[in-house]
Structure 1
Amino acid sequence: MTSTALRALCRVTVPAISILVFIVSSASTKCMYHEVSGKGIHAQCSHRRLTRLSQSWPDHVLSLDASYNNLTNLQGLNNPYLSQLRSLNLSHNSITTVPNDAFQHVPQLEELDLSDNILNLTHNAFRGLLHLTRLVLRHTGLNELPDMLLSRLPQLVTLDLGQNFLSVVPSSVLHSVPLLTSLDLRNNSLVTMTNHSLTKLRQLQKLSLQNNQLFRLEREAFSGLSQLLELDLSNNNLRLDHFAYPPGVFSPLVALQSLYMNNNDERIEGSYPENVLELRSLKNLSIDAFYDAQFGPAFSMLSNLTALTTGSYCHMWHLRNETFSAFKNSSLESLAIKCYLISIETCAFCFFPHLKNLELGLGGHMTTGAVLLSLYGLQNQSMSRIVIQNTKAGPTVLDDSNTKYLNNICLNELVIINGMVVGVSGNSMHTNSQLDICLKHLELSMNSIRSASKSFLIKLFVVLFRNILTIKFRDQFVFPSHRIGDTVRADPVDSETHYDPVGPNAVVHFSFPPSLNVFDLSGGLLRFGLLPRYLDFPSSGNLTTVDVSYIGISNCMTTVTGLTAIRSLDLSGNYCSYFDENIFRYMPTLRRLGLSNLRLDQDFIMENGTRLLGTLGLLEHLDMSANDLHRLPSDMLRAQPGLQSLMLQGNRFQELPTDLSLQTHLSVLDLSNNMLPTLLPHERRLFDTLAKNHTLQLRLRNNPLSCTCSGLDFVRWLALTVIPLVGLLLQLLGLVLTFVISRNWTYVRYAWRVLRHLQLPKRLDFRKDVLLGHADADLELAMRVRDCLRDEQGVRVLLPYEEILPGDIWTEKILQLVDDSWKILLLVTRELLQDRWAGFLVNHAQRSISDIMPDRVIVVFMEQPAHLAQGPPDHPARVSMERLLRMVPERNVFHVHRDIPPNHPVWDRLTQLIQQQ
């Protein structure tokens, strides 16, 4: 469309539907091309809203990624420029039919991904793919496979049939690909593994059967699988008895090394079946555990076992001295116990002379001190890692009485998380002990270290652990009683607890161990106080990463010396409106700098911003988001030509705030949540220039982009640019709504009802996958849920306390956070139902449910109904929750325990609900 035609839109009344269709279809459909090792071209066409593949291609395209588009068929594969394709990804489209000989024009294809399409496959759909080695048909709606589907794929070695509706193993189809080495049947509807189901797959090495409905394995189910190395049976209904596991069922698996049987048997009491675990090659075993479990003689045959994990269905309450006696002749190196233990006897671990890794994820019924005393049997051993989590039966002060055995272990890494450690005494860690000499990594995150112990604890770690590489001391749950839930930044120090250096020009020397690489003191809203005027770190030549974000530093007017090797520094979330202009002067190696959420003073930045960063010539990543800035010095980044990412979201910029013409390596620029009405011509030219040599990701979400006649060149640029404009589809729609609505409101309303079924919102259109809604008093619980979803499942989690700034209007910010999130997960506790703000949050969650997004809200009850029933019945939050539950589908309602371990299958189910379209 020409500029003349675009300008004409402002002079005439245009039907609303035509304008909306123009905007939806005008997003860039151009692919990006990259050379692959000088042999050919990789075409990156993902997220381009393609409706067909018939377009111009360069010569020698070897791989094509056309995932996340709107393709409905396979037309276009007959293009001669695609004849040499080796890899083709068509996942997450709307393809419904794969006709006979659909891929005859790409005979060299080696990898094909058709996942996340609802497919109707014909017998000869893959005929001609003689070189295909990997085929992905995950989540394609299959309930059976055509008989001859795989018969003409002689080289196939990897097949993924996960997340379908298969109720039986398609044996006749699978037996036609005898070279198969990996078969994925997870998340189907299998109920029984029948005899000889896979007997002809003699090369099979990996078999995934998790998350089915299996309740029985027939005796010859695995016959012929003598090369199988890994078998995953987790998350089924296989009880640990001879009905589910007939004697000898695993006998053919002579090479099996990894067996996952966990999350099957929910029974509290039971016994392990004999004559089943005759697997002398087995190295890794994951299994459920009964109350007062005794691992009997069946386990003594596992002489090569190196790793044992108890599943989420672990009902052991006691670890007795004889619990693991069957493993005394094993070579066990890794033991992970994730149970609600109430006691561990002194010699419970005495049968593990080769143990290297011990993980105790407990359910809150033991103290950290009691668990440390159970390490008696590990004394004088060399170990790699000990992890102790969720020991919250009572507060623990680490002292000589509970660390006496720990001091006698040559341990590389010690992690105590969420253990209610409230302090450390001076005699807890012995100088020249085995622990002192060997310890390299220490983490005491998510504890409750008292304010009076913090500085002493830091000094203690500095004096001890001469070879320490990493110290992490994050998220200490110690909050002032007056803390308000809508405050992100750490509370400022008061007159009784602040650190006051001697004299206004005092020089404070802080000597880290010379070996230290990483020091992380972030989070937890500590009250650190003032920094001294001069802060020196002698002997810190190996320190590369320092994170002191959100710890209550109340003034950054300091000169820092000694950090000559530092590469990453995060000061975010403190009270540092002003900086000494020399604070970064002696950090020439700095690559990553976090200055977000500091409320930087506007005048200070304009006057000193360029000098502040002037010595950081190697800086690659800079975060100045959430500072309420209106402007930046035009030459502020002149000394950073190698800058790769610049995060400026959450400010008040009305135009590009600084010159980026020198930043030729810039790959990410985030200007979301600012005040940009448009991009000026010189800014658009700059972005196009930066995108010529590499991919530039430009984030403009939640800016007041407006449509005026003078801004139509900007609209045209948005349609034609090759720059990925992350999450901008709804912004594009908003560009024309002003004059469209004013002319034809009724027509727009009904036209949009039609159009929304053509362009439904997708998860990746939103800034985050899920917003966690919780009571202010449940912040610790919400942070644990965040960590489980984010760190273990890869979910993009939005936590309100990390986003809402002091001075923000809480209600307006919550509305924005809901709009930024694909799903809303409410953590329902007694505190939530009595929280003064929860009623508003629940009400808005209810309003966010629509016929387009009926599964928008997920409700997780974290307490028993009797506890939730306490409190006034007419509280606004309780009334709102009752209304909400009438609209939330039953599949979106969960009841879980507050202390549910990170590996419980409920996290997988929650993740699936959050991410599903």
Structure 2
Amino acid sequence: MCTVIQCVELSRLLECDIQYDVFKTITIANCSNRGLTSIPKNIPSHISVLDLSLNELSEIDTNSFVNYTDLQVLNLTKNQLNSLSRKAFKGLSKLSVLDMSHNKLDLSQEYSAELFLPIQNLTTLDISNNMNQSGDVTGFNYPDHAISVLRELSFLAIDIMPTPKFGSGFSRITNLKELHFQSCYLKRLENKTFLTFSSSVEVLTLRNCLLYFVTTEVDVLLPFPNLRVIDFSGTFMHLKPALQLLNPYRYANMTTINFGRVSYPIRDSSDLPFSLTITSDIIKHLKTICVKNLDLSENGIVEYEPGSLFSFDHPECLRHLLFKGNRFVLYNLEKRDELNLFFKKAIRLKYLDYSFNAVNYNIKKSLTSNVNLGSSEASYVFLPTSLETLDISYTVLNTVPAVWLIVPENNNLTFLDISYSNTTLFMSIPNIQLTTFISAGTRYDFAWHELEKFQNSSLKKIVLKNAHINNGIRTYGNRFFKDLASVVSLDISQNDIWYFTDDLLKPMSNLACLYLTQNLLSSIPVQIIGHSYIKTLDVRNNLLTSVNSTITNWADKMEELHGMTLNLDGNAFECNCDTVDFIRWIQTTKVNLDNRSYICKLSNGTVIDTLIAYNSLYDLFADCKNTMWLTLASSLLSTFVTISLLLVVYSKRWKIIFSVYGIIRRTVEREVRKSYQYDVYMSYEGEIVIWIKDVLVPKLETEWGLTLCIKDRDFLSGTSLADTEAESIQNSRSIIFLITPESKSSRDCLFELDRAKYEKITKNLERIIVITKGITIIDIPVDFSYIWNYAYLIQWPKDPGNLDDTWRKLEILVTDGFVAN
């Protein structure tokens, strides 16, 4: 459709925006998504482009466009069209592009012989995604009597029915270059299916035919000798017969062959197995073709024989090669020389995708990594110098011994994705040119060693999601991102980060995009204001209760300088007197926010959103000013009292000094002798006590040698529960609040919380630990917000396989790094 490069808005009518493209000297009427039920009449007659998409049009009457004789582009996509008058397009002799996709126009009924006569100069016609599933048995006849008049047509997008029959009229469209079949209900492709089409077709797409298994005859593509692009991705037909369709193109030059995801596990037989081994016979046609882009992704390939998958006659033609989502080993000793020879000859290969390949067994003929690279048994594969993008993410490849991928010194590799890989695969990159490095799901120590290689490089984008960066920050501090001044985009989401060291981001002086979603930040790190190039800051799903004025003022300044996007959704915002300025800023700032109505809690626990709070500022926070004056008066009074006390203290300073010395001495002596009855007091509610007994007690008491206070086990019946709880908390070194859904309505938990705050303030309680289990952070009772400044939060993972870091963190908190033997 028309792309406006530079537009001067002329007027805004009731129904449409009228714009003028200065460079193309055309007038555009944008009537998209206006709820129109009929063609507008009050727009200029000289328009060249009319966009009526996303409306409620159900029919087009006679002479609907007769006034728009200069119209060149008409967009009617995504309406409710089910009826076309025979003279619907009368007067549109200059029309070249017509899009009626995503409507309800029946191919067998709505296309009369006269329909397209007024628009015979049409070059692009899209009538796809209109048909529902057909139950035809004998075949579906396409309206060639209507479409055949479009002799200038070069682009046709249309739905394909289970057993299509294309009449002889299609042979008259001799300029047709692109043929796209969309909503696909195909059952069978016969040698005669496309016989009536012109041989001029160069692009053929037949994607996502999933309703039936599509059977094919081997010469079905013979009518298209000039084909350059074949895209059958997602069509349920199996890779083996799909590759046999390439017979007419042996030794031809092609741009794209996309047979990605044409095999499915539901079709698994001896002749067409889903677990497919590529043989030389299967690949016999493909290997002869000089193809630039080849996609064989997600086809159940588990193995390839020597002289098959990498035995192309013209590997120098390849630019993009995709094997994503299969299950085969790319390299072993038997195929090493063949693979290295292929990469040596693939001098134009820019993109290699070997992601999502799961091979979770030992390979008998794998290479050895304990020899020199020059040895005949060396475990190496040399990648092409031309390679720019390498994706080996989500790959499970545990060869024994390991394998090396060698990137040549004079390389062009700029993109590397190794996310969530579990491999014995190593890479050697002697001269790093990377601009994008993605390593999500790895360990922080691995990320640290990899980042060291990129120091003072041209790296622009780093993605380290779910990589335990919280431990890396604790271990390496400000050195974690050292010497990475070139980085523009950093994504460290999903890392349980709850604090930033003071200068963690300081080395990244050019940082423009920072993604911190799904961490444990209680505030936006103030060091961010030292970065003046930030355009995107994403802190969704953290523990923010507000955003302070330092950050909001900085965000406004960034918006004025170059535009600013700030994503805040999913935080535990509070709406109270302290956050009134933030609530007002959300609605008044020009910063691009992801929302203007964030969920927040009032002081009384009521859940509303910030838009409601903004519209009710005076009702909700009317007492804030009274509180301010009361605070001021209290401050003045306390200042007067303080000065008076200071005068008294000064006059009796020596007596006070000796008294304080005596108190300190007695206190120190008492603290030295201080001992606790319990190491940990457990606060919980309901049936979770069973989990405490089965999981926590064996770990903390049996393995770590600690003493727990568990009220269901250790409290005597008949005594006051409140007194016993208070005394037990007083005699405990630490307290653990185990927060579950049952805790939200527990009064006993609130009493224990108040007592813990008292003991913490009096310095009797060393640590307060909050463990959440089966509850999200934002659902934690609001009363706990008053202890976040000195409490430690642990989110208990749902996956039992991710407990090591959780146990380690809990051990440090309750034992100070010491575990009794």
Distance in 2 (CA, whole Å) between partners of 1:323 and 1:573 is: 48
Is residue 128 of structure 2 the alignment partner of residue 262 of structure 1? yes
2:321 is matched with 442
Deviation at 1:551, TM superposition (A): 1.5
Residue 472, structure 1, aligned to residue 353, structure 2: yes
Please say if residues 498 and 527 of structure 1, whose CA atoms lie closer than 8 Å, have aligned partners that are also in contact.
no
8 A contact 2:444–2:468 mirrored in 1? yes
Given candidates 278, 286, 292, the residue that maps to 1:406 is: 286
Distance 1:301 1:443 in 2: 37
State the SS of the aligned residue for 2:196.
helix
Deviation of the 1:454 alpha carbon: 13
Distance in 2 between residues matched to 1:666 and 1:738, nearest whole Å: 34
Q: How does 1:315-354 map to 2 (within 5 A)?
A: 315-327=185-197, 329-338=198-207, 339=209, 340=212, 342-354=214-226
User: Alignment partner for residue 382 of structure 1, among 253, 272, 275?
Assistant: 253
C-alpha distance in 2 between matches for 1:437 and 1:666? 42
Compute the displacement of 1:577 (Å): 4.1
- Note if contact 1:629-1:653 (Cα within 8 Å) is conserved in structure 2: yes
- Number of the residue aligned with 1:671: 539
1:180 aligned onto 2:33: no
Gaps of 5+ in 1: 1-36, 38-62, 64-85, 88-108, 115-120, 135-154, 481-492, 757-807, 817-835, 838-917
Does the 8 Å CA contact 2:101/2:126 hold for their aligned counterparts?
yes
> Do 1:625 and 1:651's aligned partners in 2 also have CA atoms closer than 8 Å?
yes
Q: Which amino acid is the alignment partner of residue 440 of structure 2?
A: S
Mapping of 1:392-431 within 5 angstroms? 392=264, 393=267, 394-429=274-309, 431=311
Question: 1:107-139 CA deviation, whole Å, 9 max, x = no partner?
Answer: xx5254x8xxxxxx6xxx99xx9x8659xxxxx
| Matches of 1:432 and 1:614, distance apart in 2 | 45
Contact kept, 8 Å, 2:230 with 2:258, in 1: the verdict is yes
- Residues 110 and 133 of structure 1: is their aligned pair in 2 closer, same or farther, counting only changes over 3 Å? same
Deviation at 1:262, TM superposition (A): 2.5
> Partner of 1:110 in structure 2?
10
**Separation in 2 of the partners of 1:162 and 1:719?**
26
Q: Summarize deviations over 1:541-565 as a string: whole Å, max 9, x none.
A: 200001111112599xx99642421
- Aligned ranges for residues 714-793 of structure 1 at < 5 Å? 723-727=591-595, 729-731=597-599, 733-734=600-601, 737-739=602-604
Say if 1:423 and 1:453, in contact at 8 Å, map to a contact too: no
Residue 727 of structure 1 and its aligned partner are, at CA, apart by 3.3
Contact 2:461 2:489 in 1 (8 A): yes
Alignment match, 2:107: 240
1:210-249 to 2 correspondences below 5 Å: 210-241=77-108, 243-249=109-115
- Aligned amino acid, residue 672 of structure 1: R
Q: 1:248 deviation in Å? A: 3.2
Q: Which residue of 2 aligns with 1:570?
A: 438
Q: What does residue 856 of structure 1 align with?
A: none
Residue-by-residue CA offset, 1:208-239 (whole Å, 9 max, x unaligned): 33444544433332222110111223334433
3-state DSSP of counterpart to 1:391: coil
| SS at structure 1 position matched to 2:181 | strand
Q: Match for 1:295: what amino acid?
A: F
Change (3 A) 1:164 1:403: same
3-state SS in 1 of match to 2:603: helix
Rg comparison, structure with higher value: 2
Verify the 8 A CA contact 1:499 1:528 in the aligned structure 2: no
Q: Which of these residues, 379, 383, 395, is aligned with residue 512 of structure 1?
A: 383
Question: Which amino acid is 2:603 matched to?
Answer: T
Does the C-alpha gap of structure 1 residues 677 and 323 become closer, same or farther in structure 2, counting only changes over 3 Å? closer
TM-score (norm 1): 0.57
Tell whether the 8 Å contact from 1:319 to 1:341 is kept in structure 2 after alignment: no
Distance 1:295 1:559, change over 3 A: closer
Distance 1:605 1:455 in 2: 44
Equivalent runs, 1:40-55 vs 2, <5 Å: none
Once residues 294 and 561 of structure 2 are traced to their aligned partners in structure 1, the CA distance between those partners, rounded to angstroms, is 45
Residue 288 of structure 1 aligns to a residue whose secondary structure is strand
Q: 1: distance between equivalents of 2:129 and 2:588?
A: 51
CA contact (8 A) 2:235 2:262 kept: yes
User: How many residues are paired up?
Assistant: 596
Equivalent residue letter for 1:379: R
Report % sequence identity. 24
The verdict on how the C-alpha distance between 1:416 and 1:617 changes in structure 2, with shifts beyond 3 A counting, is same
How far residue 703 of structure 1 moved from its aligned partner, in angstroms, is: 3.6
Change (3 A) 1:589 1:357: same
Counterparts of residues 796-835 of structure 1 (less than 5 Å): 811-812=774-775
Report how far residue 274 of structure 1 moved: 4.4
Whether 2:29 is the aligned partner of 1:158: answer: yes
Measured at CA, do residues 727 and 499 of structure 1 come closer, stay the same or move farther in structure 2, by a change above 3 Å?
farther
Report what 2:650 is aligned to.
none
Higher relative contact order (CA closer than 8 Å, sequence separation 6+): 1
CA apart distance, 1:278: 1.6
8 Å CA contact 2:205, 2:232 repeated in 1: yes
- Report the Cα offset of residue 251 of structure 1: 1.8
Aligned to 1:288: 159
How many angstroms apart in 2 are the aligned matches of 1:508 and 1:616? 32
The answer as to whether partners of 1:396 and 1:420 remain within 8 angstroms in 2 is yes
Shift of 1:511: 2.5
Structure 2 Cα separation of the partners of residues 740 and 310 of structure 1: 56
Partner SS, residue 608 of structure 1: helix
Letter in 1 for 2:75: S
Which amino acid counterpart does residue 466 of structure 1 have in structure 2?
A: I
Does the aligned pair in 1 maintain the 2:332–2:366 contact within 8 Å? no
* 2:240 counterpart SS class: helix
- 2: CA distance between counterparts of 1:561 and 1:289? 49
1:836-915 correspondence runs (5 A) = none
Q: Report the equivalent of 2:228.
A: 356
User: 1: distance between equivalents of 2:516 and 2:406?
Assistant: 30
Deviation, structure 1 residue 707:
6.0
Q: 1:245 to 1:654 in 2, by over 3 A?
A: closer
Question: How many angstroms does 1:303 deviate by?
Answer: 0.4
3-state SS of 1:519 partner: strand
1:381: Cα distance to partner? 1.7
Give 1:310 deviation, angstroms: 1.8
Change (3 A) 1:205 1:712: closer
- Please state if 1:548 is matched with 2:418: yes
Q: In the alignment, which residue of structure 2 is the partner of 1:792?
A: none
Deviation at 1:568, TM superposition (A): 0.2
Contact 2:402 2:424 in 1 (8 A): no
**C-alpha distance 455-249 of structure 1, shift in aligned 2 (>3 A):** farther
1:858-892, CA deviations, whole angstroms, 9 ceiling, x for partnerless residues? xxxxxxxxxxxxxxxxxxxxxxxxxxxxxxxxxxx
Structure 2 residue 77 is matched with structure 1 residue 205: no
Q: Which amino acid aligns with 1:350?
A: L
Is 1:638 the counterpart of 2:538? The answer is no
Equivalent residue in structure 1 for 2:179, among 272, 297, 308: 308
Moved more, 649-658 or 436-445: 649-658
User: Quick one: structure 1 residues 498 and 411, their matched pair in 2 at CA, closer, same or farther if it must change by over 3 Å?
Assistant: closer
Q: Which has a greater percent of helix?
A: 2
What's 1:909 paired with? none
Distance 2:352 2:594 in 1: 36
Number of the residue aligned with 2:688: none
Is this contact kept in 1: 2:526–2:551, CA < 8 A?
no
* Structure 1 CA distance for aligned equivalents of residues 126 and 367 of structure 2: 52
Q: Secondary structure at the match of 2:145?
A: coil
Change (3 A) 1:661 1:195: closer
Structure 1 CA distance for aligned equivalents of residues 20 and 214 of structure 2: 51
**Aligned residue number for residue 196 of structure 1:** 63
**1:521–1:548 Cα contact (<8 Å) kept:** yes
